[in-house]
Amino acid sequence: MIFWPPWRKPKVGLVLGGGVARGIAHIGVIKALASYKVPIDYIAATSAGALVGAVYAAGLDINLLEEIVQRIKWSDFFRFTLFRPGFTSPAAIEDFVVKYIGDIEFKDLKIPFAAAATDIRTGERVVINSGKVAKAVASSATFPGVFAPGVLEGKYLIDGGIASNVPVDLAREMGADYVIASDVIPETTINVLPGEAMQVLGRALDLVLKKLQREEAGRADTLIELKMEAEDIWHLDLHKARKLIAAGEVAAHRLSRKIRQDLRLKV
């Protein structure tokens, strides 16, 4: 248990990791934390987590967000482009964000938010915490080879998961004393061998990212990890939104007692 001086209220940072469609599980995590009245003072996020985090930070009701994700489809995020290093433009992601929260800037958000992206030239993490929110989300979620790199302040940016898939350190830099991290890449062994090329690629990506992020994710005060015991849910399974949200809720509920004890919240 973490002890805080009785006169000081710790600042809580919520970290939402990348995971393509499985990022929908973050909605369940947020719902569970809200049910226990866990305060969220900062949100640091990557890729799919940045999409969920930005919309929530803007003040969109979490139950409304839950309804929205059950209607989305991959065509909402694709705008095919020619003569660029990617099949589709990240502008489609921008349009999606603008549709639900408007073309707002970071200063307009209800909760301080920052997105992590990766500089394709250096491989370094790039923090985006100013300017247009939709542009930041698109830059953080530009999966290489599918989306053309985003261009921001002269830097060519790709998916933040390459440099920092569970950006715990970013939450600390924002001012968080206590960090709750949500990791939606399952730790467990898959139940069934992949049957499609994209599933094979996705599984390989999971294994690589899990190793890369382990050290930083481990620096969270509480790490919420998605577990899919009943079935495998793959990167492109948007149609399994309800199951993902439920799994996120279950994962957060498992650690609710620890979080409430650490933060001295009423049970």
86-98 pLDDT per residue, tens? 456 667 889 889 9
Phi-psi domain of 31 (left: phi exceeds 0; alpha: psi -120 through 50; beta: other): alpha
For residues 44 and 53, what is the distance between their CA atoms, to the nearest angstrom?
A: 8
Average pLDDT, stretch 223-246? 82
Poorest-pLDDT segment among 34-48, 49-63, 106-120, 186-200: 186-200
Distance, CA of 32 to CA of 208 (rounded, Å) = 29
Q: Stretch 237-253: mean pLDDT, rounded? A: 91
What integer pLDDT is reported at residue 144 of this predicted model?
72
Residue 72 domain flag: yes
Look at residue 114 and give its three-state secondary structure.
strand
Q: Is residue 230 part of a domain?
A: yes
pLDDT of residue 24: 94
Let me know how many helices (H) and strands (E) the chain has, helices first. Answer: 10, 8
Query: Is residue 4 a part of any domain in this protein?
Result: no
Which of the residues 41, 47, 221, 237 is marked catalytic? 47
Structural domain range at position 255: 12-263
User: Is the model more confident about 186 or about 220?
Assistant: 220
Query: Could you tell me if residue 125 is inside a domain?
Result: yes
The pLDDT assigned to 229 comes to 67
Number of domains comprising the chain: 1
Judge whether 47 counts as a catalytic residue. Answer: yes
Note whether residue 5 is domain-resident. Answer: no
Q: What predicted TM-score, i.e. pTM, was given to this entire model?
A: 0.90
Segment 125-180, tens digit of pLDDT: 999 999 999 999 999 988 776 666 777 888 889 899 999 999 999 999 999 999 99
Q: Does 73 score more than 80 pLDDT?
A: no
Q: Which of 41, 89, 140, 159 is catalytic?
A: 159
Name the more confident of 47 and 78: 47
Residue 2 lies in a domain: no
Tell me whether residue 3 is in a domain.
no
Residue 184 lies in a domain: yes
List of residues 6+ apart from 259 with CB closer than 8 A:
33, 36, 38, 180, 222, 265
Clarify whether 182 is annotated catalytic. Answer: no
Q: In this predicted structure, what is the pLDDT of residue 86?
A: 47
Q: Which CATH number characterizes residue 153's domain?
A: 3.40.1090.10
